[in-house]
Amino acid sequence: METVDLFKALSDETRFKLLQLLLTNDLCVGALAYQLKISEAAVSQHLKQLREVGLVKGEKRGYWTHYRVEKNRLNELMKILEDLGRLEPRPEGGCVRNIDGKIKRKKEGANVCAFKCEHPEKLKGNPKERTPKQIEKCHGPKKSHSCVPKAKKK
pLDDT tens digits, one per residue of 97-124:
454 555 555 444 444 455 555 555 566 6
Q: What element of type H or E holds 85?
A: helix 71-85
State the span(s) of the chain assigned CATH 1.10.10.10: 3-85
What is the pLDDT confidence band of residue 42, given thresholds at 50, 70 and 90?
Answer: very high
- CA atoms within 13 A of residue 139's CA, in its CB half-sphere: 21
Rg of the chain over all Cα atoms, to the nearest angstrom? 28
| Per-residue CA distances from 47 to 75, 85, 105, 119, 140 (Å) | 19, 29, 48, 49, 57
Position 12 pLDDT exceeds 80: yes
- Decide if 117 contacts 126 (C-beta within 8 A): no
pTM score of the predicted model: 0.57
pLDDT tens digits for range 19-36: 999 999 999 999 999 999
**What is residue 38's DSSP assignment?**
S
Measure Cα distances from 93 to 76, 105, 106, 147 in Å.
28, 10, 7, 19
For the 3-85 domain, the top CATH level (class) is: mainly alpha
